[in-house]
Amino acid sequence: GLHIEMRSSTMFGSSTNYAAARLLGASRDDPVMIKARRFIKDNGGAVGVPPWGKFWLSVLGCYDWDGFNSVFPEIWLFPELVPFHPSRWWCHCRMVYLPMAYCYANRIVGKITDLVSELREELYAEPYHEINWKNHRDSLAKCDEYTDSNWLLKSLFLLANTYERCVIPYFRKRASDFILEYVRAEDKQTNSIDIGPVNKAMNALVIWHADGPDSKSFEAHVDRLWDYLWLAEDGLKMQGYNGSQLWDTTFGVMAILETENLNPVEFSDCIRKAYHYMDITQSEADVPQRHRFYRHISKGGWPFSTKDHGWPIADTTAHALEAVLLSHKSGIIRNEISNSRLFDAVNILLSYQNKDGGWATYENTRGGEWLEMLNPSAVFDKIMIDYSYTELSSSVVQALQCFTKMYPNHRTEEIRLSVRRGVDLIKSQQRDDGSW
């Protein structure tokens, strides 16, 4: 399946895990591999793997790039005014599409080893060299269908695939160069952790191709792979983020300091340590060249996990601000986090508010919901733009209210209007049965 709790098998999960297991030394004659291979071939073979699977198998050399719909790297050269420019997409989607476009532009393929040749035989229901790859650009196994294709996406793929027949080298190189610059910027801004594990792995591929496997930049990527790996009783896994350290810390602090009939002094050492972590994790400056790389302001925000990761998030910032304010109010710590830094946190929270009155995750909602029609993943939904969420909006409203009680004269009217709009959005999202 797509993840460890998924009950139904998919071509995406089966083919990529099969390839990974073989690369890690599993024998093709292992009973588990025989069973997986039977499922893959019974469902038409890996030609029906979704786009992300096509990507990874192409890089490995077990799928042909001709069977991949154009990622059209030149879109990064379009002016930002274009309504479907990548800068308008949700940042996680944007940061995955970025290195994917570089790999596609340069047709990156690893060494064709004996094992890769064996995988070419094992993953398909017909001989590898007889497959008409172009006919399988849109092929998708029935078990992987989640979102429907549509006329707009099909039309754009038709145009982009037609362009691939007569690519203009000048524009392809310019696009590839900008993408590489952008990847390097993301690596630098996040200390090679990157926003998530998917673009982390893809960025590493880009750097491996551009700088070589022995370069310091690629070694930096290898060093930070451990941020995503965790060993459990059933084996080694890669998690969906590099942790939730700051998030968990803020909830712990609030749980202690908001508990009635509990003496905070008994937890003074715990609160001091947690406060120190919140102190050192806050972003105190915007990332360099943020406009060039479509970044929202960072100053004053808190990331979900660590300072090294560095991407601030609205509700994480809200919870951290509230936890810091409660810590100050408790009187058991020295106020190391200055008023100016608290004001910066309020500023970024106010800047995050969307036109509908709510708050999204990392950035404002930059595009219309119609952009979901351009979602090429086939296995994910609601990924093209950042949306206003009830939980996020509630967190920010509560933090702003907490701040106003302690700093009633700071941007009072702005905060009052912001809170009112936020509450209106939350009310509008309530279901008929009273739930959210």
Which segments of 214-370 are extended strands (E)? Answer: 229-232, 235-238
> Which residue matches tokens 């093709």?
28
Q: Are 300 and 283 in contact (CB under 8 A)?
A: yes
Tokens of 265: 């002094």
Report CA-CA distances (Å) from 75 to 184, 195, 209, 330, 389: 19, 21, 21, 52, 29
pLDDT by position in tens, the chain (length 436):
877 778 789 999 999 999 999 999 999 999 999 999 999 999 999 999 999 999 999 999 999 999 999 999 999 999 999 999 999 999 999 999 999 999 999 999 999 999 999 999 999 999 999 999 999 999 999 999 988 889 999 999 999 999 999 999 999 999 999 999 999 999 999 999 999 999 999 999 999 999 999 999 999 999 999 999 999 898 888 999 999 999 999 999 999 999 888 787 789 999 999 999 999 999 999 999 999 999 999 999 999 999 999 999 999 999 999 999 999 999 889 899 999 999 999 999 999 999 999 999 999 999 999 999 999 999 899 999 999 999 999 999 999 999 999 999 999 999 999 999 999 999 999 999 999 9
Instruction: Round to whole Å and give the CA distance between 122 and 118.
Output: 6
Domains and CATH numbers, the chain: 11-238 (1.50.10.20), 245-428 (1.50.10.20)
Q: Are 242 and 228 in contact (CB under 8 A)?
A: yes
Report CA-CA distances (Å) from 377 to 16, 68, 113: 15, 12, 29
User: Number of helices (H) and strands (E), helices first, in the chain?
Assistant: 15, 2
- Phi and psi at 197, nearest 5°, equal -70, -25
Helix (H, G, I), strand (E, B) or coil at 359: strand
Active site residue 315: yes
Select from 274, 210, 211 the least CA-distant residue to 245.
274
Select from 117, 136, 167, 1 the least CA-distant residue to 68.
136
- CB within 8 A of 427, min separation 6: which ones? none
Q: What is the pLDDT of residue 341?
A: 99
- CB within 8 A of 255, min separation 6: which ones? none
Task: Give the DSSP H/E element, type plus range, for residue 206.
Answer: helix 197-211
Q: What is the pLDDT of residue 266?
A: 87
Q: What is the pLDDT of residue 228?
A: 98
Tokens of 196: 């998530």
Burial class of residue 272 (count of CB atoms within 10 Å of its CB; 0-12, 13-18, 19+)? middle
> Which residue matches tokens 């340590």?
273
Instruction: Round to whole Å and give the CA distance between 105 and 102.
Output: 5
Tokens of 409: 């004269």
> Which of 64, 144, 227, 315 is labelled catalytic?
315
Q: What is the pLDDT of residue 5?
A: 78
